Amino acid sequence: VRSGVEHKMVSMSNGTFGDRWQGIGTENGKEVVRVSGAWGKALHGSDVVSSLDSSIEAVTVIHNESSTGVTNPIHEIAESIRAKADPLLMVDVVTSAGSIDLKLKELQPDAAVFGSQKAMALPPGLAIMFASERLLKKAETVQNRGYYFDLVEMKKFADRDLTLTTPPISLLYGLDYQLGKMLKEGMRARFERTHEMAEVARTWALKRFKLYAEEGYRSDTIIVIEFGKLDFPAFNKALKARGYEVSGGYGKCKDISFRIGTMGDLRVEDIRELTKIMDEVLEGMT
Ligand SMILES: Cc1ncc(COP(=O)(O)O)c(C=O)c1O
């Protein structure tokens, strides 16, 4: 948003990371029209259209909301937006790029942002963004783009095969290796493996607990489980003693949920093994 919005944007949220992007807009001095939906439920095109007019330069939306385990239907949202207006479409694909099919050619986002440390299964440190020609052109007209995230300067350097700031070479080698591995596995196979892992985790969770995300929009990379009366710290401690660990809840869901990640290079056997160990730990706790 620093490079792509001069005055006004719409920012959609149904979780912590959506709220964060709304905050990022404000912190960068933009006027942010907040479209906020219920946590655990998906956002839809119908939620955003009434906020659109010609003054809206961009709409931001989180594809896979990691705090709630909801995957928002970004294609449907994009279609509704484009039927009414022509803002830039900026999508956070932090926990989906590399493990869920983004269908980028159909989506045609102006910005799609992610990091190395999630579904790409690399150490943290790289922020990766696809930027459209339209966004790069718009950036030329935006004042106060700062230095570090100035898309115009970045593009000038990229055109000479250079980076604006000192590149983390080791991570770029890692990315090259990981992309090679993905091509070898095949993206279709990778998406199917991710889905199968999520199904294993969801099936396990539904035997004992509730899923936070509404049916039909449940993420294939992050399973958010409402744990009810479970003593979660004791459960995770016992799991750790067996060499496994699950993530605590995040943001508003912190005290009511835990999360199982099913992304990156994990295998279906890993998730099956995890569910077996979680069953054993739970039986030991009752
Ligand atoms: C959907 C989503 N967006 C943004 C972020 C923030 O990423 P980072 O910690 O690399 O800034 C996260 C981190 O978990 C995330 O899950």
**pTM above the 0.85 mark?**
yes
Across the 286 residues of the chain, what is the mean pLDDT of every consecutive 10-residue run?
98 98 97 98 98 98 98 98 98 98 97 96 96 98 95 97 95 97 97 98 97 98 97 97 96 96 97 98 90
62 lines ligand 1 (CB under 6 A): yes
Q: Are 166 and 186 in contact (CB under 8 A)?
A: no
253 lines ligand 1 (CB under 6 A): no
pLDDT of residue 280: 97
Q: Exposed (0-12), middle (13-18) or buried (19+): which is 255, by Cβ within 10 Å?
A: exposed
Distance CA 150, CA 250 (A): 30
pLDDT of residue 125: 95
pLDDT of residue 286: 73
250 lines ligand 1 (CB under 6 A): no
pLDDT of residue 201: 98
Kindly give the distance from the C-alpha atom of residue 205 to the centroid of ligand 1, in angstroms, as a whole number.
Answer: 24
Kindly give the distance from the C-alpha atom of residue 129 to the centroid of ligand 1, in angstroms, as a whole number.
Answer: 13
pLDDT of residue 278: 98
Collapsed DSSP state (helix, strand, coil) of residue 30: coil
Please choose from 12, 17, 91 the residue to mutate so as to test ligand 1's pocket, defined by most ligand atoms within 8 A of CB: 17
Q: Are 61 and 77 in contact (CB under 8 A)?
A: yes
